[in-house]
């Protein structure tokens, strides 16, 4: 006898206070093709706060309409098991996905309103970050980069406050295929290094 039916029911019992959404384009490319053509575009996976897969399905386009039926079925299962729908959602395309998912999973909108109420003015668009010339510097030579990185290292070591923050970001060009997936990546073109100290000092280097 197979325990698959039992395992299916156990998986459905897993809650999802948050849902992390991801689209994998590699898996779909490796599935059997129909007359040489790719059948699906991507595999969509939603995992909960424990990393457990709670919803997974294939799509043929990137359109949100491809996801609606699967999400509604997922929410129906949660209701059947007396579970609360996800109140937090993670995606790598927040600007594109926000409206759709807040409409499809209403509790996300409720939670967003609650979080916005904790920060005065949060419902308005954030003002552009403003840095004066004394707060940033462009480094283009190896010597200049090393001097500034070593200076920052010395500065950070001299601060013991847990409120100090250091941020690192890298940018590089990519090449995409006809389906929009990344086919190759170039070398790192820009490295941004920023910090803020508990004293209020803010700086950025690129």
Q: What is the pLDDT of residue 98?
A: 93
Instruction: Compute the half-sphere exposure of residue 98: CA atoms within 13 Å on the CB side of its CA.
Output: 6
Q: What span, in angstroms and rounded, lies between the C-alpha atoms of 185 and 23?
A: 19
Q: What is the pLDDT of residue 166?
A: 78
What is the reported pTM?
0.58
- Give residue-wise pLDDT tens across range 155-165: 777 766 666 77
- Give residue-wise pLDDT tens across range 51-67: 999 999 999 998 999 99
Asked if residue 34 lies in contact with residue 2, where contact means CB atoms within 8 angstroms, the answer is no
Q: What is the pLDDT of residue 30?
A: 80
C-alpha closest to that of 104 among 144, 141, 70: 70
Tokens of 118: 């904790």
Q: Where residue 28 falls among pLDDT bands split at 50, 70, 90?
A: confident
- List, as one string, the DSSP characters of 134-183: GGEE---SHHHHHHHHHHHHHHHHT---TT-EEEEEEEEEEEE-TTS-EE
Angle formed at CA 115 by CA 114 and CA 120, multiple of 5 degrees: 100
- Reported as type and span, the H/E element at residue 71 is helix 65-80
Query: Which residues, including other chains, have CB under 8 Å from residue 64's CB and lie 6 or more apart?
Result: 97, 100
Residues in the chain, overall count: 206
- Give residue-wise pLDDT tens across range 111-158: 999 988 887 765 555 666 677 777 788 888 889 988 888 888 887 777
Most confident of 27-36, 73-82, 150-159, 167-176: 73-82
Q: What is the pLDDT of residue 199?
A: 61
């Amino acid at each position: 006898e197979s325990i698959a039916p039992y395992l299916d029911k156990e998986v459905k019992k897993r809650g999802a206070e948050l849902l992390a959404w991801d689209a994998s384009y590699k898996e779909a490319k490796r599935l059997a093709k129909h007359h040489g053509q790719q059948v699906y575009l991507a595999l969509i996976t939603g995992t909960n706060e424990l990393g457990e897969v709670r919803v997974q399905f294939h799509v043929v386009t990137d359109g949100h309409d491809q996801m609606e039926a699967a999400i509604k079925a997922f929410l129906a299962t949660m209701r059947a098991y007396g579970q609360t729908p996800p109140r937090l959602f993670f995606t790598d395309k927040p600007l594109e996905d926000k409206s759709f998912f807040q409409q499809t999973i209403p509790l996300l909108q409720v939670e967003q309103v609650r979080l916005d109420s904790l920060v005065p003015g949060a419902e308005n668009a954030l003002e552009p970050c403003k840095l004066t010339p004394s707060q940033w510097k462009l480094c283009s030579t190896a010597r200049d980069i090393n001097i500034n990185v070593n200076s920052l290292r010395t500065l950070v070591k001299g601060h013991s406050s847990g409120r100090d923050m250091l941020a690192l970001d890298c940018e590089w060009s990519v090449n995409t295929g006809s389906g929009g997936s990344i086919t190759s990546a170039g070398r790192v073109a820009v490295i941004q290094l920023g910090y803020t100290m508990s004293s209020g000092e803010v700086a950025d280097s690129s």
